[in-house]
Structure 1
Amino acid sequence: MIRRTLRSEGGFVLIVTLMVTALLVAVIVEFAYRSYLSTARADNFSGSARAALLAANGVEVASSAMREMLKKTPHIRMADGGLDFSRTEGDYTINIRVEDELARLSTEVVYTKTGVVVEPAWSTYVRLVEALELDTNIVETLADWIDADSEPRSYGAESLDHYSALPRPYKSADAPLASVEELMMVKGYTPEVFRLLKPYVTVYNSKRRVNINTAPRAVLKSLSEEMTEEMVESIIEYRMAEPFRRTSDIMGVPGFETVGIELQDRVAVKSDLFRVISRATAGEAVREVEAVVRAGGDILYWRHR
C-alpha cells in the first residue's frame, strides 16, 4: 500500500511538473510569437520571408524557454519524441520541437591522432548499430573517416582505396565529424542508414555521457551489454516517477545493483544543449530551421530549408 501511495504521489508530481513546464513555455512562445508576428505581417514581406522569419525566431524562443525552464527544473525529462509546442493565428502557424542533444550517443569512436578505439563510445555505438539491424562494418568506416592515418581497417575505407575512386572523388576528413550530416559522406551510410541513426547520435557530446533522464530506449539499451528491455523499462519507469538527480541514483533502480556501477561513468543527469526544429507556415509558404543551441546561449549548428 505504501509503495502504491508513493508511486501515486510521484505520478501526481510529474503531472504538476509537466503542467508548469507547458505553461511556462507556452507563455514565452506566445509573447515572442505575437511580437514577431506584427513584423512578419508587414506588406513588404513575402509569404516565404514571413515563414523564414518566424521559423528563425522560433529557435530563439525555444532557446530562451529552455533556459527559463532549466532555472526551475534542472533535471528535465522528455519522451522519445522530445517536447513539442505549437501556435496558430490566422494563416500563420509555428511548430517547435525541442530534443536533448545529450540524450544521444557520441560519434567520436576513435582518437583522431592515434586511431585508438575510444571506450565505451565504440562499444555503445556498435550496440546501437546492431539494435537498428544495420551492418556493423559502418562502425569501422566511420573510424577510418575520423582517424588521421591512411591504413584502412578490415572493413573500413580510406581516401586512397575508396573515396578517391568515386565518380566525384573526395578525401576522408581525418577529423571528428563536424555535423551528423557528414555521416552521409562516409562509406556505408546511405540515406536510409542515416535516417535510422540520426535520432540517436550527435557530434556535440564531447564528454560522451548520455543524459539518463532524456535518453530514448534505443540509446539506453546500448549503454551496456547487460542491458535488457526490462531494465530499460525500469529506468523509464523510475525517471517518470522522479528524475535522476545524481548518477549514483542508477544504483537505486531494481536490477542495477551490479551493472549500475559501470553505468555511473556513462550517464549524466542534466543538459543545457538542445536540438530545435522550428517549422513555420505563412499562407502557403513553409520554412524550417534546425539548430543546436545552448539554452539561452551559443548556436552550434544552423540549417534552414
Structure 2
Amino acid sequence: MTIHAIAAWQRPLRNSHGMALLIVLSVVSLIVVLTIQFNKNMRQNLVTSGFAGNTIKLETMARSGINLAMAVLDKDTKENDYDSHLDSWALLGQENLSPLFDEGLLTVDITDNNGRFQINSLVQSKSEAQTDQSPQQANALELATRNVLRRLLRNEPFALEDSEAKTIIDSLVDWIDADDGDWEQELGAESSYYQALKTPYPCKNGPIEFIEELLLVKGITPELFYGTKDHAGLARLLTTQGTDGKININTADPLLLQALHEDLTKQMADDMLAFREDANNKEALASTKWVVEVLPSLSGQNGLKNITVKSSSFTVLAQARLDSSQKKIIATMQRDSQKTTLLQWKVE
C-alpha cells in the first residue's frame, strides 16, 4: 500500500476523532447551560420561598399589633373614663415592641377619630343614627357642624374663599343626603352635575364610607385633600366615623380646635394644646371645663358647643418590618364601656 493510500485511509479516522470531540464539547456546553439555569431556578425558588416566608411573618406580626391595640384600649377604659394624648393608648407608638419577636420590628399607633371632624355629621336631620332628637335640634346641630367645617376651610393653612368653602360644604351635603335633586344646595351638586363630567359617575346620596371618596366631590381638589409641600392636607383632620359631631378637645388637632369657635385664634388654640399636653394637668382633662380655665372668654353662652373628652372610635396602624420587606394593617375600632370591637381592616 502506498504512502498516499495510507494517508487517505487514516484521514477519515482523524475526521471521526474530530467529530467525537465536537459532540463531547456540545454535550458539556449543554450540561453547563442546564446547570447554570438550574442554579438560577433554585436561587429564584429560594428567594421566592424566603419572600413568602417573610410575608407570612410580617402579616402575623401586624395582626398581633392589632390585637395589642385592642387590649390597650380595653385596659384604658378601666383606668379612666376620658381620653387624652397622655393615656396609654396614645403613647403606644413610642413603646419598644422588638422584645416580642425574635426578629423584625413592629410599631403600633392609635389615633382618636373623635379628635377629627365627623364628615357625615353634616347631614343630621336625615341621619338614621339620630333618632332621639327633634327636627329643630337636628337642624341646629347640622348648622353648627357646617360652621365648624366652614371655619376650618377658611382658616390657614387652607385659606379658601368663602364661596369656595360654601361650594364644598353644599356639595358634601348633596353627596351625603338621600335626595337627588329635590333639595339641592345653593352651590352644591347632584347626579346631573357628576354625570356631565368627562368621566361620569352618580352622586352617592348616602354616608361617606371611605375618606378618599371626598376626591369625587365637587370643589375638593387633590391639593386640598392631600396637602402641598407647604402644609398637610385636609384628609388627616376628617373621619367617616360618627355622626353626632362631637369633637374631643383633648385630642383634636389645633387647626380643628381653632375652627370650633369664631372668636378662637391660633394663639388660643396653641394655649389649649400646651395645657392638655402638660402631664401636670392630666386630671383636669376629665372634664371640658378646663377650656374655661385656659380661655376665660369662652364661657357661658359664648362657650364651645358640642365638645367632649370621651372617645369611642379609633384608627389603628400596625406596621411590621423584616429585612427590606414590610406589611401594615389599618383597622377601625369601636369602643364602649364593655369592650373594643374591630369594625374593619385592610392589609397593605
**TM class, shorter-length:** 0.7 to 0.9
Q: Identity rate of aligned residues, in percent?
A: 25
**Aligned CA distance change for structure 1 residues 215 and 259 (closer, same or farther; 3 Å):** farther
Residues in 2 aligned to 1:184 and 1:53: alpha-carbon distance in whole angstroms: 33
| 1:233 equivalent in structure 2 | 270
Of 107, 129, 132, which aligns to 2:119?
107
Structure 2 residue identity aligned to 1:231: M
Higher relative helix content = 2
Question: Matches of residues 69-108 of structure 1 in structure 2 within 5 Å?
Answer: 69-78=76-85, 83=91, 84-85=93-94, 86-88=96-98, 91-108=103-120
Give the greater-gyration-radius structure (CA): 2
TM-score normalized with structure 1 length: 0.75
Instruction: Find out whether 1:271 has 2:335 as its counterpart.
Output: no
Over 3 Å counting, the alpha-carbon distance change for 1:168 and 1:119 in structure 2 is same
User: Paired residue for 2:68?
Assistant: 61
Aligned length: 260
Give the whole-Å Cα distance in 1 for the aligned partners of 2:190 and 2:61. 43
Bigger CA drift: 276-285 or 236-245? 236-245
Matches within 5 A, 1:1-305: 46-78=53-85, 83=91, 84-85=93-94, 86-88=96-98, 91-108=103-120, 109-111=122-124, 113=126, 118-131=142-155, 132-134=158-160, 135-136=164-165, 137-151=167-181, 152-161=184-193, 163-195=194-226, 196-239=233-276, 240=278, 241-243=280-282, 244-258=285-299, 261-263=302-304, 265-295=305-335, 296-305=339-348
Structure-2 separation of matches of 1:153 and 1:193 = 21
What SS is found at the alignment partner of 2:320? strand
How far off its partner does 1:141 sit?
A: 1.6
Offset at residue 260 of structure 1 (A):
7.2
Where 1:154 maps in the other structure, the secondary structure is coil
SS in 1 for 2:224: helix
**Cα displacement (A) at 1:53:** 2.2
TM (norm. structure 2) is 0.67
Q: Provide the aligned C-alpha RMSD in A.
A: 2.8
Counterparts of 2:159 and 2:309, CA distance in 1: 29
| Distance in 2, Cα, partners of 1:50 & 1:168 | 41
Letter matched to residue 286 of structure 2: R
Aligned counterpart, 1:29:
none
Structure 1's unaligned 5+ residue stretches are 1-41
Change (3 A) 1:167 1:302: farther
